[in-house]
Amino acid sequence: MPFARIRDASYYLRVRLAAWYGAVFAGLVLVALLIVYEGSRHTIIRETDERLLEDAKETSQAVAQLHPDRRRVEEMLARKADTHTHERLFLQLIDPDGDLSWSSKEAPPGIDEDLRDFTDEVAVREVGVFRVAQRYVDAAGAPRFLVRVGASQEQIDAAVWKRTRVMMVAGLLIIILAPLGGYWVAGSAIQPLTSIIHTAQRLRPTQLSDRLPIRGTGDELDQLSGTINRFLDRIGEYLARNREFVANAAHELRSPLAAIRSSVEVALNASRTTAEYQALLETVADECSQLTSLVNQLLLLAESDAGRVLRHVEPLQLDRLVDSSAEMFRGVAEERGVVLEADLHDKVRILGDAARLRQVINNLIDNAVKFTPAGGRVRIETECREGDRKGVLRVSDTGCGIPAHDLAHVFERFYRGDKSREREGPSRGTGLGLAITRAIIHAHAGEIEVVSSVGRGTTFLITLPLADAAPQLDTADKPIDRSAVGGSQVGR
């Protein structure tokens, strides 16, 4: 099953994290052991060198004090060498001519030849497995003898190995325990992922109320949980909106279909005259027209969701589009006793789809005229704002206005406000006009706002980027028949 595989993946992720943790930790331990080994060796060698230099100094001083008693000097040197046999310490006495005058039994044969050119009194030289320091005997009236003290590096290596062995045992234990600790740490780290998996198991298209817990740590996993929660919120809103949209669409489609069916049933129940059949067919045609308009509006909204609203984008003069629409509605306004004014002095050049923008302008003017009583006034204005490179379209009326509780919902699909604002006559709006208007404006990278006061009128304000400031607009991949739009006037 899919979620069983997810659980297995979670388990294997934990194992992999533990393995990686153990491998990295083992590598760090090995590096640490190497550093400790080298550091210990360097420290012991430095300490040995310091001791050799000190022994050479003390021995040379003792020789200076015992000179010229040769027997006592040799006894002192032999006694000193015998007391350090465990360190394989050797001593040599070199006469002023550079010849070996005395040597302890631990001294390697021929080493005096290797050190014949060594005269430095503050340095230690490495010869084979020995480290050697030397010092001249400085006594008044005494020959300039050279005291040489050496120690085997095997003792140094043994001391280093003794320390390293302890570290290796501890490191081995750490390497063995590291994967176990890594497994526990990985389990704690992926616990939020386990919560995500369990929550995902409970999610259903009809049940999206579960949310991931936020631990408050602010780390990446908390951010992931917050992102998924916001994503679930958007999915829930989208599904709820789609369910409401489908239900409203079905309701709107049912009314004309029922009217068509009843008209056909009436025509089939009895013989009718030609005039009666013609009247019934006219009724069916009217309902089909409303049905076609609704379907085309739904199609346009579906295209807006898919980013296919715009067809042909080109530079346009907004004031010319508005002037054309205003002239078209001037006769309707006069018939209703409404004064229609147009203030289009500014030449506003924008980038857009002429057909879609004309549809928006017609819709706003149509609504303004029809919701304004006789004696009222509708004013249309265009403006070019150079400051923020925006073109402005303002449509104002002195109609009945929109109540405050409806104002926030006027752009929602299928939303209808106060019935007093419904259109006169037998037909009424579908509640899609302003939703379509906003979709078209947003497709043009613009914004639409509404301000209204009951009894005083309504103003719709549209801002669009000027042509030289407009972003790249998304257009449909393939053009479709413009007749599918179903006309230019869509009501709110």
The CATH number linked to 414 is 3.30.565.10
Task: Identify whether residues 51 and 34 lie together within a single domain.
Answer: yes
Task: Identify whether residues 235 and 127 lie together within a single domain.
Answer: no
Task: Identify whether residues 283 and 337 lie together within a single domain.
Answer: no
pLDDT of residue 206: 64
Q: Which domain holds residue 451?
A: 308-485
Whole-model pTM: value is 0.52
pLDDT of residue 462: 92
Residue 107 lies in a domain: yes
Task: Identify whether residues 272 and 330 lie together within a single domain.
Answer: no
- Number of domain units in the chain: 3
Residue 23 lies in a domain: yes
**Domain C-terminal end among 258, 283, 302:** 302
Residue 469 lies in a domain: yes
Task: Identify whether residues 254 and 113 lie together within a single domain.
Answer: no
Residue 109 lies in a domain: yes
Task: Identify whether residues 337 and 473 lie together within a single domain.
Answer: yes
**Domain C-terminal end among 274, 302, 330:** 302
What CATH number does residue 261 fall under? 1.10.287.130
pLDDT of residue 89: 85
Task: Identify whether residues 130 and 108 lie together within a single domain.
Answer: yes
Task: Identify whether residues 274 and 319 lie together within a single domain.
Answer: no
Residue 41 lies in a domain: yes
Task: Identify whether residues 395 and 470 lie together within a single domain.
Answer: yes
**Domain C-terminal end among 247, 268, 302:** 302
Q: Which residue has the tokens 């752009």?
A: 411
Task: Identify whether residues 295 and 321 lie together within a single domain.
Answer: no
DSSP letter (8 states) at residue 341? E
- Reduced 3-state DSSP string for the chain: CHHHHHHHHHHHHHHHHHHHHHHHHHHHHHHHHHHHHHHHHHHHHHHHHHHHHHHHHHHHHHHHHHCCCHHHHHHHHHHHHHCCHHHCCEEEEECCCCCEEEECCCCCCCHHHHCCCCCCCCCCEEECCEEEEEEECCCCCCCCCEEEEEEEHHHHHHHHHHHHHHHHHHHHHHHHHHHHHHHHHHHHHCHHHHHHHHHHHHCECCECCCCCCCCCCCCHHHHHHHHHHHHHHHHHHHHHHHHHHHHHHHHHHHHHHHHHHHHHHHHHHCCCCHHHHHHHHHHHHHHHHHHHHHHHHHHHHHHHHCCCCCCCEEEEEHHHHHHHHHHHHHHHHHHCCCEEEEECCCCCEEEEEHHHHHHHHHHHHHHHHHCCCCCCEEEEEEEEECCCCEEEEEEEECCCCCCHHHHCCCCCCCCCCCHHHCCCCCCCCCCCHHHHHHHHHHHCCCEEEEEEECCCEEEEEEEEEEHHHCCCCCCCCCCCCHHHHCCCCCCC
Task: Identify whether residues 46 and 78 lie together within a single domain.
Answer: yes
Residue 249 lies in a domain: yes
pLDDT of residue 114: 72
Task: Identify whether residues 330 and 392 lie together within a single domain.
Answer: yes
What CATH number does residue 57 fall under? 3.30.450.20
Residue 170 lies in a domain: yes
Residue 209 lies in a domain: no
pLDDT of residue 425: 41
pLDDT of residue 393: 92
Q: Which residues of the chain have pLDDT under 70?
A: 1-11, 86, 200, 203-208, 248, 251, 303-308, 416-430, 474-492
